[in-house]
Chain A
């Protein structure tokens, strides 16, 4: 059975959900082998096994932590040469896509990013991508080399299926350097889930009226154990930090539920959330384009609708 390499994303020994999604997806094509960089693999072994990883290649080289992207790409290229996998899967976040890009150059292989689905085809895996702000659906495939695909988080649901998750140590065959990471600063987001991985995202827009008004978005998000997102109008005005911007020049999210509160839904915003499974919109303008996407919409003042919603959620808990 073909081997499929999956580059794990993790915080210490905590495997990110997107990795479990990738392992699940890899099973459609062969036997998943997780590539784990840095510490934590032993503790994460059970979790990877639960979702069907056959193997875990663990690399502890300091360079993987110390230098930007290049060592991870070098490690993957080395494993591709040794194991001849049928496919390499990565998370389609900014860093995952960069690793995918460097790997593609190293292997002279085609790379596809931001896939929302991946299915076996006669001539190799076929990726589905949602482009131009979600207006067009494209199916594409790699025609040269080992297919490298970066998947949008939340593209598939993780499904358990037992695997051996046999650990084996690997290391970089040669020295790799590059740009050096000298410090890591983590922004405060409390206990909230990661924006791109969250099952529920609550986003606020211009309608919140300011940083103070935006707090209601955080409160609603917390009541649903959701991540907070913001439209560009909000981050441009400095009402909420830029890293939470959803849209064309910000993050792309694909949660089970997306709540757009006080967001009109210009194409640039839709580009970041159109593949969400269920969309709820609250906006005072009945003509707002967000209502074209909404499964459920309320035309009204968010400062009346949301407090009432919070009260209802409280009652139902």
Chain B
């Protein structure tokens, strides 16, 4: 089974994140790390591969990352968790791509690598759009098995629990398919020392736009179908009133609620 896990490097959410003057994300000035939900995707891919192998089948986990050179750190970490190999889509022409053009670029690579299962996190902590699995399923014309809190593979069938607004749906399809995972689906493993050492020897293939057959006009800032008009730091909220509870804290909250007509 050919499992491809999409891994995005994002700015550390604990750091102060900014946009560049041109509206693109400032990736240079803050530490990058694997998008948190993608760690669950990696873990799920590894577990599925392990189960396949345990049942006597073959399975391989490939990490696919689109991003600047710095993203190689995240690829290395994903490999040290246990993925077998990686593809790094790396080209200056990709900078400023929006979701639509990113999905085009990733779909081009996925068509080239082939896949039985594409797994990604349900959203990234930077853009938080939550559209990539849907866009890829549409582009690749395979079932969208997204927002999974549980995944079961049974031969060429996949069954998931899809989280809904008020519970979950049981959803099934055939492979190949695109899966996105939510947190809580598993407990991502930490790379072991052995894993870290092994990762250094694992193959990472770097692809340019030309290598992947990507039309440069359809990616990057020029290929994006959206643009940032302007952006500002949110002014700090006007300082509110903070009181120490002197035995009347509850009454004070009630008075505030009443003054604001909430009660």
Which A residues lie at the B interface, using CB under 8 A? Answer: 68-70, 73, 93-95, 97-102, 104-106, 108-114, 121, 126, 130-145, 177-187, 189, 194, 196, 200, 224, 235, 242-243, 248-249, 252, 256-257, 267-268, 271, 278-282, 286, 291-301, 304-313, 316-317
State whether A98 and B262 are in contact (beta carbons under 8 Å apart), knowing that A112-B226, A138-B228 are contacts in the complex.
no
Contacting pair A242 B226 (CB below 8 A): no
Closest to B223 in A: A144
Number of CB contacts from chain A to chain B under 8 A = 286
Contacting pair B135 A102 (CB below 8 A): yes
Q: Which of B164, B240, B263 contacts A95 (CB 8 A)?
A: B164
Q: Which residues of A have CB within 8 Å of B257?
A: 257, 280, 313
The docked-state distance in angstroms from the alpha carbon of A183 to that of B170 is 5
The docked-state distance in angstroms from the alpha carbon of A303 to that of B236 is 30
Contacting pair B167 A187 (CB below 8 A): yes
User: B197 interface residue, CB < 8 Å from A?
Assistant: no
User: B227 interface residue, CB < 8 Å from A?
Assistant: yes
Contacting pair A299 B131 (CB below 8 A): no
The docked-state distance in angstroms from the alpha carbon of A268 to that of B125 is 9
Q: Type the 1/0 row for B1-24, where 1 means its CB is closer than 8 Å to any CB of A.
A: 000000000000110111100010
Q: Which of A73, A94, A309 contacts B130 (CB 8 A)?
A: A94
Q: Which of B147, B165, B242, B250 contacts A194 (CB 8 A)?
A: B165
Q: Which of B134, B139, B262 contacts A257 (CB 8 A)?
A: B262
Least distance between B97 CB and chain A CB atoms (Å): 12
State whether A109 and B225 are in contact (beta carbons under 8 Å apart), knowing that A70-B144, A242-B184 are contacts in the complex.
yes
Contacting pair B234 A130 (CB below 8 A): yes
The docked-state distance in angstroms from the alpha carbon of A179 to that of B141 is 11
Least distance between B184 CB and chain A CB atoms (Å): 5
The docked-state distance in angstroms from the alpha carbon of A311 to that of B251 is 9
Contacting pair A131 B254 (CB below 8 A): no
Offer 26 A-B interface pairs, CB within 8 angstroms, sorted by A. Answer: A68-B146, A68-B171, A97-B130, A97-B134, A102-B135, A102-B144, A105-B100, A105-B103, A105-B135, A106-B138, A113-B129, A132-B17, A135-B233, A145-B225, A177-B143, A183-B170, A185-B167, A186-B166, A242-B183, A278-B260, A279-B237, A297-B242, A304-B250, A308-B250, A311-B250, A313-B254
Least distance between B15 CB and chain A CB atoms (Å): 9
Q: Type the 1/0 row for B99-143, where 1 means its CB is closer than 8 Å to any CB of A.
A: 110010000000000000000001001111111111101110001
Contacting pair B130 A305 (CB below 8 A): no
The docked-state distance in angstroms from the alpha carbon of A258 to that of B148 is 28
User: B95 interface residue, CB < 8 Å from A?
Assistant: no
Q: Which residues of A have CB within 8 Å of B122?
A: 94
Contacting pair A182 B234 (CB below 8 A): no
User: B198 interface residue, CB < 8 Å from A?
Assistant: no
Q: Which of B167, B230, B245, B256 contacts A184 (CB 8 A)?
A: B167
How many of B's residues come within 8 Å of A, CB to CB? Answer: 84
Q: Which residues of B have CB within 8 Å of A73?
A: 134, 138
State whether A113 and B228 are in contact (beta carbons under 8 Å apart), knowing that A183-B169, A184-B169, A296-B253 are contacts in the complex.
no
Majority DSSP secondary structure for residues of A touching B: mixed
Contacting pair B167 A98 (CB below 8 A): no
Contacting pair B147 A249 (CB below 8 A): no
Q: Which residues of B have CB within 8 Å of A113?
A: 128-131
Majority DSSP secondary structure for residues of B touching A: mixed
Least distance between A8 CB and chain B CB atoms (Å): 14
Which of A99, A178, A182 gathers the greatest number of chain B CB atoms within 10 Å? A178
Q: Which residues of A have CB within 8 Å of B258?
A: 316
Least distance between A204 CB and chain B CB atoms (Å): 15
The docked-state distance in angstroms from the alpha carbon of A106 to that of B138 is 8
Least distance between B247 CB and chain A CB atoms (Å): 8
Q: Which of A180, A185, A296 contacts B240 (CB 8 A)?
A: A296
The docked-state distance in angstroms from the alpha carbon of A131 to that of B127 is 8
Least distance between A219 CB and chain B CB atoms (Å): 13
The docked-state distance in angstroms from the alpha carbon of A312 to that of B255 is 9
User: B232 interface residue, CB < 8 Å from A?
Assistant: yes
The docked-state distance in angstroms from the alpha carbon of A178 to that of B179 is 12
Complex A-B, nearest 4 residue pairs according to Cβ-Cβ distance, in ascending order: A308-B250, A300-B245, A101-B131, A110-B225
Closest to A135 in B: B234
Closest to B158 in A: A179
Q: Which of B133, B225, B241 contacts A104 (CB 8 A)?
A: B225
The docked-state distance in angstroms from the alpha carbon of A190 to that of B125 is 31
Closest to A101 in B: B131
User: B212 interface residue, CB < 8 Å from A?
Assistant: no
The docked-state distance in angstroms from the alpha carbon of A299 to that of B254 is 15
User: B163 interface residue, CB < 8 Å from A?
Assistant: yes
User: B43 interface residue, CB < 8 Å from A?
Assistant: no
Contacting pair B253 A305 (CB below 8 A): yes
User: B252 interface residue, CB < 8 Å from A?
Assistant: yes
Other A-B contacts than A139-B229, A185-B167, A298-B249, 10 sampled, CB-CB below 8 A, are A68-B169, A93-B165, A111-B225, A143-B227, A185-B170, A243-B166, A271-B128, A301-B245, A304-B247, A312-B254
